[in-house]
């Protein structure tokens, strides 16, 4: 049995779309400063911060539990789209695979 679906959320941000896109594209290492209660660390595991195939390791907190994840990012500048492909981590204990676009 598998579960497949799409979840969409709207969030009001006080930033331009370009600035928000660039944060997730090449400046994700700033997230622990912006949201330290949820995201403790984002480290570069392979590649560089600007590359489309960079692998990053995250330490974060969800429901009071410390968790980790390793992900590879696909960047589509033409459509200003970023897809996070989870490779390892606690989330894969619950799901066979996980992609977030």
**81-89 sheet: strands from edge to edge:** 39-46, 55-62, 65-76, 81-89, 99-100
**All structural domains of the chain with their residue ranges:** 17-100
* Residue 1 reports pLDDT greater than 60: no
Confidence category of residue 17, pLDDT binned at 50, 70, 90 = confident
- Distant-in-sequence, close-in-space partners of 16: CB < 8 Å, separation ≥ 6: none
Q: What is the DSSP string of 40-99?
A: EEEEEEES-TT-TT-EEEEEEEETTEEEEEEEEEEEETTTTEEEEEEEEEGGGGT-S--E
The arithmetic mean of pLDDT across residues 22-31, rounded, is 89
Q: Give per-residue pLDDT as tens, 32-55.
A: 999 899 999 999 998 888 777 889
- CATH number of the domain at 17-100, out of 3.90.1150.10, 3.40.190.10, 3.30.530.20, 2.60.40.10? 3.30.530.20
Confidence category of residue 94, pLDDT binned at 50, 70, 90 = confident
Q: Give per-residue pLDDT as tens, 48-87.
A: 887 778 899 999 999 999 999 999 988 888 999 889 999 9
């Amino acid at each position: 049995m598998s579960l497949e679906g799409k979840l969409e959320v709207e969030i009001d941000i006080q930033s331009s779309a370009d600035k928000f896109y660039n944060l997730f594209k090449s400046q994700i290492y700033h997230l622990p400063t912006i949201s330290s209660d949820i995201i403790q660390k984002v480290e570069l595991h392979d590649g560089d911060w600007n590359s489309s195939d960079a692998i990053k390791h995250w330490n974060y907190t969800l429901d009071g539990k410390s968790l980790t994840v390793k992900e590879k990012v696909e960047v589509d500048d033409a459509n200003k789209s970023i897809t996070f492909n989870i490779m390892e981590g606690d989330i894969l204990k619950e799901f066979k695979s996980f992609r977030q676009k």
